[in-house]
Chain A
């Protein structure tokens, strides 16, 4: 299967899902009006990846903003990865937040409380918004 690479926009994140290394990345902003449309290819990709995943998968989430319509879709991404983990593979979510962005840290903790995947909270200096 091929990598999923999407360039970021003012309302959608940069996506880089690499099936060869298990390195998955979501970076920038996720504030589209129609999140379900944007996330469908990502969820479909993970569905396919889950059939022959790498022994180690790491999803790096580094978002500056996300809207509530994205939040359910992001949960769906995590649920797909929960499935990958349930079949005996190592899965980690690396949740990045800016040092003074308590709200983003809380959002990561909210997901970590719902999803059965180890989360690593990573404090950074400034979120790189990608190609905006």
Chain B
């Protein structure tokens, strides 16, 4: 176990990880993680626009984890229901900017719709992405959580790049969703 700690330290150092967390998420914990990101970014990144964009992307990604969560955790290959959302988040420095990686179990039934939404976003150039944001904002519909489908569009706008994502089907009604957002400066 002691060797594992050293390996983990090495690994995180090698990937220039600023912050990583895996486990149950509460609103208080999200506040604390955002506070940590904000403080770290102040020391690392001189460009305020990049700092703000990273903060925005991390915030939206964490809130996505919180809202769109199947509330299960997998231990020793077995899924357990939990009363809190679970997820993983990692924020790392990259050659040109920052990487925000998140993952969580979600309802398998929502997978196709999310995939279509992400593909549509990735196909749009910046000006059309802004138009898509405006249309979605103006259409007056709310999702159950209030965002109404704006979250991923906003993440893509702040990223300035394509959203990299993947799904790993877990069982008949759950899938693991991974998202990698590159915020370039």
Contact = CB atoms under 8 A, between A and B. Distances in A.
Interface residues of A, number: 25
Interface in B138-167: 138, 142, 145-148, 150-151, 153-154, 157-158
A36 B63 CA distance: 14
B56 interface: yes
A33 B66 contact: yes
A5 interface: no
B58 to A, nearest CB: 11
B59 interface: yes
A100 B55 contact: no
Nearest to B135: A114
A2 B132 CA distance: 39
A42 B130 CA distance: 27
Contacts of B52: 65, 101, 103
B27 interface: yes
Contacts of A73: 146
B146 A103 contact: no
Contact of B56 (A10, A34, A65, A69): A65
A69 B63 contact: yes
Size bracket, chain B contacts? 20 to 34
B134 A68 contact: no
A3 interface: no
A72 B146 contact: yes
A63 B27 CA distance: 21
B47 to A, nearest CB: 9
A73 B59 CA distance: 17
B158 A103 contact: yes
B150 A33 contact: no
A87 interface: no
Contacts of A67: 59-60, 63, 147
28 contacts: A31-B59, A32-B27, A33-B27, A33-B66, A33-B67, A34-B146, A35-B146, A36-B146, A65-B56, A67-B59, A68-B60, A68-B153, A69-B63, A69-B146, A69-B151, A72-B137, A72-B150, A75-B137, A75-B138, A103-B56, A103-B157, A103-B158, A106-B130, A110-B130, A110-B133, A110-B134, A113-B134, A114-B134
The 3 residue pairs across chains A and B that have the minimum distance between CB atoms? A68-B150, A69-B146, A69-B147
